[in-house]
Structure 1
Amino acid sequence: MVNRGALMLRYSQVAVDWLNKVDPVPTSELTVESVNEERTVYLVSNEVADSPDSVMAWVKLNHLVLFEGELFQWYVDESLWPKKRNWALFQEWFTIECHSVVEDTMIGHPIIDDDA
């Protein structure tokens, strides 16, 4: 077990409707199911993952970074992003899911940051 929790953001229908509306080259209609198949996992400290209140406090503090990271995965052109990326919109777009137990099944193999 590693000393981290796993946090994921689940997209709502409101977010999916926005994604479908702004797509400059729509290929197919996105659905809530399709956008939530592959989600980014954010590792957080055990202390953050310890309770729903601490998860919410951490997400609220970091919501802009999380929001922009999610938007960047869809569109690198920031002019397509919503102008008001605030806490209220974040809460409309995402449901927060957190898991406090993370097992590392790759014992003996280092975790490597691909961006480093």
Structure 2
Amino acid sequence: MFDTVNRDVLILFPKQPLFDWVNYIFPDDKLKCPKPMAHDAGDVFLIPEFTHPDDAIEYLKENFIEFFEQELFDWTTDENLWPEKLTWELFETWFHYSIQSVVMDILDEEIEKKDF
């Protein structure tokens, strides 16, 4: 059997408004928004393990700016091009999110971490 990991997973998928912003700041290279849950269209984050889904959502609401900034940084490091205010409402407008509480490690190898 597989081992479970003492983490939950947050998966963020971009919505059309994020791609509208990307296409606005990079007008010469228009991108289309992928379908939600499309292969390799989202980013996956290991977050603390919670005993109740509401606690995980509360964690996300308290920490959404960190995830928002990471997503924006993936598109441009020029923070002057970022939206002026990063709000929870804007986060929900720009991203589909899913938090999963069961994380299994199917390999016997150590997990490697890299700083980007």
Interval of TM-score (by shorter of Structure 1 and Structure 2): 0.7 to 0.9
Give the secondary structure class of the aligned counterpart of 1:29: coil
Counterpart AA for 1:102? V
Question: Which residue does the alignment assign to 1:23?
Answer: 26
Q: Structure 2 regions of 5+ residues with no counterpart? A: none
Residue 43 of structure 1 deviates from its aligned partner by 0.6
Letter in 2 for 1:30: K
CA distance in 2, matches of 1:103, 1:55: 18
Q: CA RMSD in A?
A: 2.2
The whole-number CA distance in structure 2 between the counterparts of 1:16 and 1:28 is: 9
Which residue in the other structure is 2:35 paired with?
Answer: 33
CA distance in 2, matches of 1:29, 1:16: 7
Choose between structure 1 and 2: higher helix proportion: 1
Supply the AA of the counterpart residue of 2:97.
Answer: I
1:12 is aligned to 15
Alpha-carbon distance in 2 for matches of 1:12, 1:28: 15
- Which position in structure 1 is the counterpart of 2:79? 78
Q: In the alignment, which residue of structure 2 is the partner of 1:113?
A: 113
Aligned residues between the structures: 112
After superposing the two structures, state which structure 1 stretch, 69-78 or 6-15, moved more: 6-15
C-alpha distance in 2 between matches for 1:45 and 1:54: 10
What TM-score do you get using the length of structure 2 for normalisation? 0.82
CA distance in 2, matches of 1:59, 1:70: 14
Q: Percent identity?
A: 35
TM-score normalised according to structure 1 size: 0.82
Which secondary structure state, in structure 1, belongs to the residue aligned with residue 56 of structure 2? Answer: helix
Which deviations, in whole Å up to 9, do the C-alpha atoms of 1:36-82 show, x marking residues without a partner? 633221111221xx433112201111011110000001111111111
Higher strand share: 2
Aligned to 2:45: 42
Q: Which runs of 5+ in 1 are unaligned?
A: none
Tell me the alpha carbon deviations over residues 64-110 of structure 1, each in whole angstroms, 9 at most, x when there is no partner: 11100000011111111111111121111112111111111222x21
Instruction: Return the letter of the residue paired with 1:16.
Output: F
Say if 2:5 is the partner of 1:2.
yes
